[in-house]
Chain A
Amino acid sequence: MSLKSHLGPAAIVVMLLGLSLVLAAPQAAVLMGNADAATGSAMHRLVFLNSTLPRMATALLAGASLALSGALFQQVLRNPLASPTTLGISAGANLALVAVTLFVPGLLGFGRDLVALCGSAAAAGLVFLMGARQKFSPISLVMSGLVVSLWCGALSAVLMLLNERYLVSLFIWGAGSLSQQSWAIPLSLAPKLALVCLVVAAILRPLLLNELGDAGARALGVHMVRLRVVAVMAAVALAAFVTSAVGVIGFIGLVSPTIARLAGAPRAGQQLVWSTLIGAALLFLTDTALLATAGAFADFLPTGAVTAIFGSPLLLILLPRLKIRHRLMEAEAPVSLNPATARLAKRLMLPAAVLVLAVALVFGRSPDLGFTLMPPDLSGDLLALRLPRIAAAFFSGAMLAVAGTILQRLTGNEMASPEVLGISAGATLGVAVAVFLVAAPGLGAQLGFSALGAFAVLSVIFLLAARSGLQPERVLLAGIALSAMVDAVIGVIGATGDPRAVFLLRWMSGSTYSVSAFGALMAAVLAVLLISGSAFMRRWLELLPLGSSAASALGVPVGRARFLLLTLAGLLSAAATMSVGPLSFVGLMAPHLSRQLGFVRATPQLFGGALIGGMLMVAADWLGRSLAYPYEIPAGLVSALIGAPFLILLMRRARA
């Protein structure tokens, strides 16, 4: 290895550390400067020794661990977008920790790391399971990772909402704060990092052969699969240790290896080493900068949320560099139910829909807490309350299903759904702005701002992806990056303990609670208009899965078709988001279910999916209204919680 290739990364490390020292110097001077002076300075020194220094050490160690984890993932998966954040590893660890905090707090004392490990390993397993179906293509892996992230986030959210008392502490944790009062955390993190480093050093040389590909490595006598398992386990463990110690710190694991590569560390081994050092320096700098400016904001800012806010745009910058190879939809046989069952299911679909609607309308709980039919004397009032919600749920579910069908057909990616299009993130951001500009926004203001936000984000995404001719993968990834950023913003707001965060959390969780009769009518009108609009584009939806060159050879104006279809999917998701919130996974589930029932062609899949999506949402809404009565669980969360495991089950079946 020539000395020259080390110069770039080394310069960057030195620069980052130098910058941090410049920022930290005044602080240290204040704290240490007049050490020999009396009284107050003794306390200063104590703070410096037991809070500031351990905090710096934690920043360095956590940064190094996350960066090494990210670099390992990127090497092993040969995927420049892989990292603990983008693969859902950190979110999985966080969810496990949140659940254990709430339900088995006794476990936390000694079993913290173990809990985090289980959570992140489960998340990793899930992501790889889904990724395996598309031969670990970079895009599909990251897409699966972010869907798992979203799901873990949704579950954490519902746990937090139902336990408001712990809300702020969970927010802080989720947002990753580095503040320390003793050396306990860095001292426990250091040996773990050292241990993993040893393991990585042991497999480093054979790992370099990874770049030859499976067959090439095997020809040289390296058992690639076993090696990869070890490397992935090391990476997962690193992310879990950090999450368990200080919470979720986003994007360091993505950014550092990228910087190392751009700075000219060309070979795998060098990249691992330099990524680790750059990660340490980067988190150190972020944290020092945060401390130096914290006084100015006089607010509590968790470091992890800040890295996410600055890190997620990097994902946008990286996108154009990512080579997206031709999508080869792997020869994955579409497993449907056996034909007889599918026929029966098809025939039962309409009656089932009617039944679901009827039950949701007349069956409910009353203050004496029993399930009852609607009491006749209240029927007028109750119908007036239930009808708009049921209608909104139905039409929004249908719109999400159609949006999902369009996106899945457009991208040929089975994990594509409105959630990852960034629309929801935009709408949430709009509402966040509304909450902080207009102290208590009314319904109209909420709707207006969310629509504005959704369209702002959609335009940004379109602008970013326009250069690639609106390649659907790029559009989705841009959406994902923006979603991550919005999550981080909400995290920051939540960690300050501002009660308005609960409002945002509620809004994100997607309840039909605030739907008015007018809102329901709007949803119905929009659903009918937009869904029939999508029926007009059914031919494009048939042909685009053939691949863009085949479709354009048949005379489909690919660019225009993509633009119109994406716009339509955007409108559909935005309209649905207004009443059922941004996160429901109905848009992901319904197209799959529709196909399983044998609706394989575009038009039947669209309409079958719409009906299924509507039913799912109505059922979720009813469950959400009844389960914790008189408290409500938002329909969006109910469907996300039930839907995601169900979806995973479906995919497993399809694999077998």
Chain B
Amino acid sequence: MSLALTRRGFIAAGAACVLRPDLALSAGPQRIVSLDYGLASTLLSLGIVPKAVASRADWDVWVIEPDLPAEVVDLGSSWEINFEVLTSLRPDLILTTPFNAALTPRLEAVAPTLSLGVFTADGGDVLPKAFAATRALAARVERKDEGDAFIARTEAFFDECRARIARIGAPPLALLSFLDARHARIYTAPGLYHNVMQRIGLANAWTAPGNFWGFETIGIERLAEMKDPATRLIIFEPVPADVMPKLEESPLWQALPFARPGQLAVLPGALMFGMLNDAMRFARLITDHLEQAA
């Protein structure tokens, strides 16, 4: 790039920096609020603390890491963010997703918005879209370098996980959350979990694709459709209290290969509708668990 840069252009750019000190000193918007967990968490990784996040009260339940500083204000439910709070914060950028498209005109009236979609109805793999969204966000808040570094960090982490998993050799995994003693949500293509598993060299034992968020709701008996006896089951917290005792009583569950000790693990959750931080958290949880189990 520097080869292509003419001397005149170089001078002009320098002059611009001198004439517009604000551009050179601080890059981009300062008072940013986010309606989406994934975007807020990415923003933190770019070195910016958002002024407010929607559904902040549940951050520690769903997102868990990175930590959200105490001064971040709660914007109310992500479906219906509180405009009185939003207005009084006087933000200069609002991060949102196509999911909140109905709000966009009203958000625009308060401040400029940036809408980035990772989970969109047109489908397709989620992870590449998460990378693209991260780049776009970094560009918009003028933290391009931090963005590139964050992406590089992520890729490196995935590579590391891939290598660690290759060393121990892993069985196919089925990932699920229990809804009640009879029903579960199983994670599959094209979701975030599924993409990360592909990326770090793991096989998803559940092969049927799900909806565009990447999951499917099933009755527990359908777990028997997974034939490979080596399949290991990863259950994400929270598990409703009455599920395990009820399953113990079921001969069907008892007969499933993953009901045996060592074939099943309960892990803390990672946000399944998140972005890179959540993908990394998921990769770390799984890789750590597999290494421990090996």
B74 contacts A109, C-beta separation under 8 Å: no
B80 contacts A182, C-beta separation under 8 Å: no
Report Cα–Cα, A442/B100, bound state, in Å: 9
Among candidates A173, A385, A441, A497, residue contacting B87 with C-beta atoms closer than 8 Å: A385
A179 contacts B102, C-beta separation under 8 Å: no
Query: In the complex, how many angstroms separate the beta carbon of A171 from the nearest chain B beta carbon?
Result: 9
User: In the complex where A181-B252, A442-B105 touch, is A300 in contact with B77 (Cβ < 8 A)?
Assistant: no
A632 contacts B76, C-beta separation under 8 Å: yes
A51 contacts B221, C-beta separation under 8 Å: yes
A181 contacts B73, C-beta separation under 8 Å: no
State the majority secondary structure of interface residues on A: helix
Report Cα–Cα, A506/B99, bound state, in Å: 14
A residues in contact with B103, CB < 8 Å: 514
A residues in contact with B208, CB < 8 Å: 298
Query: In the complex, how many angstroms separate the beta carbon of B223 from the nearest chain A beta carbon?
Result: 9
A630 contacts B242, C-beta separation under 8 Å: no
B80 contacts A632, C-beta separation under 8 Å: yes
B residues in contact with A441, CB < 8 Å: 101-102
Among candidates A177, A298, A378, residue contacting B88 with C-beta atoms closer than 8 Å: A378
A184 in the interface, Cβ–Cβ < 8 Å?
A: yes
B183 contacts A179, C-beta separation under 8 Å: yes
Query: In the complex, how many angstroms separate the beta carbon of A217 from the nearest chain B beta carbon?
Result: 45
User: In the complex where A51-B221, A165-B61 touch, is A181 in contact with B242 (Cβ < 8 A)?
Assistant: no
Task: For the complex, count residues of B whose C-beta is within 8 A of A.
Answer: 58
B98 in the interface, Cβ–Cβ < 8 Å?
A: yes
B10 in the interface, Cβ–Cβ < 8 Å?
A: no
A138 in the interface, Cβ–Cβ < 8 Å?
A: no
Closest to B185 in A: A497
Report Cα–Cα, A449/B15, bound state, in Å: 55
Report Cα–Cα, A446/B103, bound state, in Å: 12
Query: In the complex, how many angstroms separate the beta carbon of B62 from the nearest chain A beta carbon?
Result: 9
B residues in contact with A516, CB < 8 Å: 106
A residues in contact with B105, CB < 8 Å: 442-443
A residues in contact with B79, CB < 8 Å: 502-503, 506
Among candidates B121, B213, B217, B251, residue contacting A50 with C-beta atoms closer than 8 Å: B251
Query: In the complex, how many angstroms separate the beta carbon of A541 from the nearest chain B beta carbon?
Result: 38
Task: Flag the segment in A40-48, A206-214, A335-343 that touches B.
Answer: A40-48
Report Cα–Cα, A52/B252, bound state, in Å: 11
Report Cα–Cα, A503/B100, bound state, in Å: 10
B168 in the interface, Cβ–Cβ < 8 Å?
A: no
Query: In the complex, how many angstroms separate the beta carbon of B74 from the nearest chain A beta carbon?
Result: 5
User: In the complex where A169-B240, A632-B80 touch, is A440 in contact with B102 (Cβ < 8 A)?
Assistant: yes
Interface bits A510-523 vs B (CB < 8 Å: 1, else 0): 01011010000000
B252 contacts A499, C-beta separation under 8 Å: no
B102 contacts A180, C-beta separation under 8 Å: no
Report Cα–Cα, A67/B181, bound state, in Å: 26
A residues in contact with B163, CB < 8 Å: none
B141 in the interface, Cβ–Cβ < 8 Å?
A: no
User: In the complex where A298-B208, A440-B98 touch, is A182 in contact with B242 (Cβ < 8 A)?
Assistant: no
B179 contacts A630, C-beta separation under 8 Å: no
A591 in the interface, Cβ–Cβ < 8 Å?
A: no
Query: In the complex, how many angstroms separate the beta carbon of A184 from the nearest chain B beta carbon?
Result: 6
Query: In the complex, how many angstroms separate the beta carbon of A162 from the nearest chain B beta carbon?
Result: 10
A440 contacts B101, C-beta separation under 8 Å: yes
B84 in the interface, Cβ–Cβ < 8 Å?
A: yes
B residues in contact with A366, CB < 8 Å: 84, 88
B residues in contact with A52, CB < 8 Å: 221
A641 in the interface, Cβ–Cβ < 8 Å?
A: no
User: In the complex where A46-B252, A177-B182 touch, is A440 in contact with B99 (Cβ < 8 A)?
Assistant: yes
User: In the complex where A182-B251, A441-B102, A496-B217 touch, is A109 in contact with B82 (Cβ < 8 A)?
Assistant: no
Closest to B56 in A: A630
B249 contacts A182, C-beta separation under 8 Å: yes
A181 contacts B87, C-beta separation under 8 Å: no
B residues in contact with A630, CB < 8 Å: 74-76, 82, 84-85
Interface bits B63-88 vs A (CB < 8 Å: 1, else 0): 00000000001111101101111011
B residues in contact with A378, CB < 8 Å: 87-88
Q: Which residues of A contact B (CB under 8 A)?
A: 40, 43-44, 46-47, 49-52, 105-106, 108-109, 164-165, 168-169, 172-173, 177, 179-182, 184, 298, 300, 364, 366-367, 378, 381-382, 385-386, 439-443, 446, 495-499, 502-503, 506, 511, 513-514, 516, 629-632
14 more contacts with CB within 8 A, not counting A168-B179, A181-B252, A440-B100, are A46-B224, A46-B251, A179-B183, A181-B182, A300-B183, A300-B218, A385-B83, A386-B84, A441-B101, A502-B79, A506-B80, A516-B106, A631-B57, A631-B82
Q: Pick the 8 closest A-B CB pairs, nearest first.
A: A179-B219, A51-B221, A440-B101, A50-B252, A182-B250, A630-B76, A169-B179, A630-B82
11 inter-chain pairs at a CB distance below 8 angstroms, sorted by A residue, are A43-B224, A43-B255, A44-B224, A50-B251, A173-B180, A366-B88, A378-B88, A442-B101, A496-B211, A498-B211, A631-B77
